[in-house]
Structure 1
Amino acid sequence: MSPTTVIKQEAIPYLEYPSPNRNNPSRKQCLIFFITGNPGLAAYYTPFLTHLRQLLSELESTPTSNHAYHIYCRNLLGFSDADHSPPFGTPLPNQQSTTTLPFTLEDQIQSITTTLHSLSSPTPFHSIILIGHSVGAYIATEIFHRTHCTHLSPISTLPLTSGILLFPTLTHIALSPSGRKLNLIRTTPLLNTWTHILAKSIINLLPTPLLQTILSKFLSQPPHAASATLSFLQSQDGIWQAIHMGKDEMATITEEKWSDELWQLSRSSNSPSQSSKFYFYFAKKDHWVADEVRDAFIERRKTDARARTKAVICEEDIPHAFCIHHSETVAEKVKVWIQEITG
Structure 2
Amino acid sequence: MAAKLPIDELSHPPTHPPSPSTPSYLIFLITGNPGLAGYYTTFTTHLHTLLRISHPATSIRIYARSLAGFETALPTPPKPLGLLAQVDAVKAVLRRKVKEVEDEVGRVKVVLVGHSVGSWILLEILQRVRWEGGVEVVAGVCLFPTVVDIARSPRGRVFTPLLRIPGLPWIAASAARVLGLLPVPWFEALVRSVTGMPPDAVVTTTAFLRSKMGVYQALHMARDEMSLITTDTWDAEIWGAAHPSPTGTARSQLFFYFGEEDHWVAEETREEIIRARGGGEDWRPRMEVDEGGIPHGFCVENGEEVAGIVAGYVRGVLGG
One-letter identity of the residue aligned with 2:108:
H
The residue aligned with 1:83 is: 75
Maintained 8 Å contact 1:264/1:306: no
SS at match of 1:83: coil
SS at match of 1:183: helix
Work out which of the residue numbers 109, 126, 133 in structure 1 matches 2:108.
126
Work out which of the residue numbers 149, 156, 163 in structure 2 matches 1:179.
156
One-letter identity of the residue aligned with 1:40:
G
The residue aligned with 1:342 is: 318
Q: Return the offset for 1:220.
A: 1.8
Maintained 8 Å contact 1:281/1:311: yes
The residue aligned with 1:92 is: none
Q: Return the offset for 1:38.
A: 0.6
* Distance verdict in 2 for CA 1:282–1:192, change over 3 Å: same
The residue aligned with 1:261 is: 237
Work out which of the residue numbers 24, 39, 42 in structure 2 matches 1:44.
39
Listed as ranges, the gaps of 5+ residues in structure 2 are 1-5
* Distance verdict in 2 for CA 1:217–1:197, change over 3 Å: closer
The residue aligned with 2:85 is: 107
Maintained 8 Å contact 1:160/1:269: no
Q: Return the offset for 1:191.
A: 5.6
Maintained 8 Å contact 1:185/1:191: no
The residue aligned with 1:138 is: 120
The residue aligned with 1:6 is: none
* Distance verdict in 2 for CA 1:225–1:31, change over 3 Å: same
Normalised by the length of structure 1, the TM-score is 0.82
Query: Counterparts in 2 of 1:104-253, with a 5 A limit?
Result: 104-121=82-99, 122-123=102-103, 124-148=106-130, 151=131, 153=132, 156-188=133-165, 190=166, 192=168, 195-197=171-173, 199-200=175-176, 203-204=179-180, 207-253=183-229
Q: Return the offset for 1:198.
A: 5.3
SS at match of 1:70: strand
- Does 1:68 pair with 2:59? yes
Normalised by the length of structure 2, the TM-score is 0.87
Report which stretch shifted further, 291-300 or 208-217.
Answer: 208-217
Deviations along 1:186-208, one digit per CA (max 9) or x if unpaired, are 334x3646543454356346554
Deviations along 1:7-59, one digit per CA (max 9) or x if unpaired, are xxxx9931110113243322110110011001111010001111111101101
The residue aligned with 2:296 is: 320
Report which stretch shifted further, 330-339 or 23-32.
Answer: 23-32
Q: Return the offset for 1:269.
A: 4.2
Deviations along 1:126-160, one digit per CA (max 9) or x if unpaired, are 31100000011111111111122xx2x4xx22111
**Identity in percent:** 35
Q: Return the offset for 1:209.
A: 3.5
* Distance verdict in 2 for CA 1:26–1:168, change over 3 Å: same
Q: Number of paired residues?
A: 305
Larger Rg: 1
Maintained 8 Å contact 1:287/1:320: yes
Separation in structure 1 between the aligned mates of residue 180 and residue 108 of structure 2, nearest angstrom: 47
Maintained 8 Å contact 1:44/1:228: yes
- Does 1:286 pair with 2:258? no
One-letter identity of the residue aligned with 2:254:
F
One-letter identity of the residue aligned with 1:119:
K
- Does 1:20 pair with 2:12? no
Maintained 8 Å contact 1:40/1:76: yes
Listed as ranges, the gaps of 5+ residues in structure 1 are 1-10, 87-100
SS at match of 2:196: coil
SS at match of 2:138: strand
Separation in structure 1 between the aligned mates of residue 175 and residue 280 of structure 2, nearest angstrom: 45
Q: Return the offset for 1:232.
A: 0.2
